[in-house]
Structure 1
Amino acid sequence: MLTLLETRSYLSVSLAAGGHWALRFDPPPAVKFNAVRRGSCLLEVDGVDEPIELAEGDCYLLTRRRPFTLRSDPEAVPVEAAPVFAGADGGIARVGQGDDVFLIGGGFFFGSRAQELLLDRLPPVVHLPAGTRHAETVQWALTSIDRELTHPSMASTLVAEHLAVVMLVHVLRLHLEREPHAVSGWLAGLGDRVVATALSALHRDPARSWTVAELASTAAVSRSTLAARFKATVGQGPLEYLTRWRIELAARQLREGSGTLASIAHSVGYGSESALSVAFKRVLGVPPGDYRKHQTTS
């Protein structure tokens, strides 16, 4: 799914802070992440009731474009973050007195379908505390990113950006383990062993003429069990999900401008252009030809 959504990462200026301080940030242009490499601070996100205490080793994702504030304590009066970061020196912005707090950060850009397929399935803030189960994997990625930024070598930026995507995958994995009920759709399905097996089969071979019985056999359960668990977690039946997955794959090919409608239809499991067109319009609301034209002109 992350490949389908054309996931790209970027790294931003780091932040060193100390004493009594607070920064108010505009809504980020993409999914934002920060990791506390030293010290502690508070995170406040518009629309989230309680502030989140961030300790050394913690990291978080902001999945909505909302203003947020980082501060040393509740009494600190925030200043606008943009001028502070515009005055960064050596890739580090500074606020307050000292540098007992240090954060690295960046973000993730996705393709046009990410909001519906991924971000709406997540809470506004994904907070991953240090010391939680398997968090050492995320810490490894963060430490490696920090090292690439602090001691740059050949292709350090490229390496760090790829490491950020690795970190994103592990953060999502750990979030699913810690809070399986805080997600929905296919992400929730990944938290169910039976449903995850069926999802993996559909993703691996979407052009196959799957039946519920075949998927149930793959997951080693009965048809009724698979259908019930798939519906309960993903929100739709396995064959309905397959249709939507095929259409997402076809839409990606149309956005890329590769292939004829006939070849795209065949590649995702439809026997003809007309069969693809009917399913495509039912799922995305427009015929594939109009979708391609809009993508190439926008």
Structure 2
Amino acid sequence: MKSNLISRSSILGIDPLSDVLSLVKSNGFMSGGLDIGGEWSYNFDADGAFRCFAMVSGCCWLTLADGSEPIEINKGEFFALPHGRRFSLASDPAITPIDMYREMDGPLNGRVLSLRGGGSACLFGALFTFRPDFAKYLTDALPAVLHIGDGADRDALHLYLDRVMALLRRPQPGSVLVTAHLAETMLIEVLRLHLTKATGGDVGWLFALSDDQLSRAVTAMHEQPGRRWTVQQLAERANMSRSAFALRFKEKVGVAVMEYLIRWRMLLAADRLLVSSDPVGAIGGWLGYESESAFVFAFRREMGCTPRQYSHRSAFAA
């Protein structure tokens, strides 16, 4: 199933997080529940997918392949794995994991699958696959694990989760579409709650949104991507001196101000190339470039190909 996390019509410029999510292109989606019994440990191979989980009942341990300490996940908690790397889930992290698919009696998508008799732990899981060029803009700003545990306001997430599990246990007409939308909403809520936990040491454009001054500048760039912004003008939006703004932006976002603006413009350009038949020069003009050649140069430097090559490759991939 293909979808965007947020419908893109009339959304750009509302807020930077919604802007980015509205552009994320989904190549596929699947979801299901696991009702597991006894002692267990399952491997999940690296697949590049963005996964989101909820602990419906019981508890489990999440172990990443990077050697970091296992993370305990308790009933009612949520976690997301943005980077599609190998991981395992287990009732006890000391148990050697096996391939879960060896014990499955059929596909997981769209149902609750019982393993080992069920009854000990129940999880909901959703898997999203996105176009890499769009997903990278989001996932590069995220850590290996987003864990929404104690202390977070999870009321809305639990409402969505209850409805999803009801549909998985007793499918009804339209269940697949409703489940997909609810799972997407859960993922967005996980991202929002993660953002509220941001600390001063977090780096990435997403965490700049939790900085009152920097968020004004980021919002301005998103609202008017084609304006010929200068660092001074954006510093004024943030109510900071030019030098202090440039330094804090680089420290917080990880790239210089103008580099961020160019990246955002090229993401918008890539989206326009996919969804419209606008001439390359018109897209460049919309994004503030005085000539088509200047736009093509910037696009190729950021995306690794010319706009026309990108459009042709995307049409072939579709």
Q: Please indicate the TM-score interval, normalised by the length of the shorter structure.
A: 0.7 to 0.9
- For 1:13-52, list aligned pairs within 5 A: 13-52=32-71
User: Corresponding residue for 1:289?
Assistant: 308
Cα RMSD of the aligned pairs, angstroms, is: 2.5
In 2, Cα distance between equivalents of 1:268 and 1:233 = 25
User: Corresponding residue for 1:99?
Assistant: 119
**CA offsets per residue over residues 181-235 of structure 1, 9 Å max, x none?**
6753212322212111211111122112223333233333333332222122112
SS of the aligned residue for 2:188 comes to helix
**CA offsets per residue over residues 125-173 of structure 1, 9 Å max, x none?**
22221x3232323333323322333343342221221122222222122
Aligned residue-pair number: 297
In 1, Cα distance between equivalents of 2:316 and 2:175 = 35
- Identify if the C-alpha distance between structure 1 residues 86 and 29 changes in structure 2 by more than 3 Å, giving closer, same or farther: farther
Amino acid at match of 2:254: G
Structure 1 gap ranges (5+): none
Query: Which consecutive segments of 4 or more residues in structure 1 shift more than 4 A?
Result: none
SS of the aligned residue for 1:206 comes to coil
Tell whether 2:140 aligns with 1:113.
no
In 1, Cα distance between equivalents of 2:80 and 2:197 = 15
User: Corresponding residue for 2:143?
Assistant: 123
- Identify if the C-alpha distance between structure 1 residues 142 and 122 changes in structure 2 by more than 3 Å, giving closer, same or farther: same
User: Corresponding residue for 1:188?
Assistant: 207
TM-score, normalising length: structure 2: 0.83
Task: Answer with 107-116 or 244-253: which moved more.
Answer: 107-116
How far residue 53 of structure 1 moved from its aligned partner, in angstroms, is 0.8
- Identify if the C-alpha distance between structure 1 residues 95 and 258 changes in structure 2 by more than 3 Å, giving closer, same or farther: same
- Identify if the C-alpha distance between structure 1 residues 26 and 282 changes in structure 2 by more than 3 Å, giving closer, same or farther: closer
User: Corresponding residue for 2:8?
Assistant: none
Pick one of 281, 284, 287 that aligns with 1:265: 284
Pick one of 74, 80, 88 that aligns with 1:61: 80
How far residue 57 of structure 1 moved from its aligned partner, in angstroms, is 0.8
TM-score, normalising length: structure 1: 0.88
Amino acid at match of 1:137: A
In 2, Cα distance between equivalents of 1:182 and 1:114 = 25
**CA offsets per residue over residues 64-102 of structure 1, 9 Å max, x none?**
333322221245443321133343698222223441311
Same amino acid, percent of matched pairs: 36
In 2, Cα distance between equivalents of 1:107 and 1:200 = 30
Amino acid at match of 2:111: G
Amino acid at match of 2:210: G
How far residue 15 of structure 1 moved from its aligned partner, in angstroms, is 0.5
- Identify if the C-alpha distance between structure 1 residues 227 and 87 changes in structure 2 by more than 3 Å, giving closer, same or farther: same
- For 1:156-167, list aligned pairs within 5 A: 156-167=175-186
Contact 1:27–1:66 under 8 Å retained in 2: yes
User: Corresponding residue for 1:144?
Assistant: 163
Contact 2:32–2:124 under 8 Å retained in 1: yes
In 2, Cα distance between equivalents of 1:38 and 1:223 = 52
- Identify if the C-alpha distance between structure 1 residues 272 and 80 changes in structure 2 by more than 3 Å, giving closer, same or farther: same
SS of the aligned residue for 2:25 comes to coil
In 2, Cα distance between equivalents of 1:179 and 1:217 = 24
How far residue 38 of structure 1 moved from its aligned partner, in angstroms, is 0.6
Amino acid at match of 1:238: V
Structure 2 gap ranges (5+): 1-19
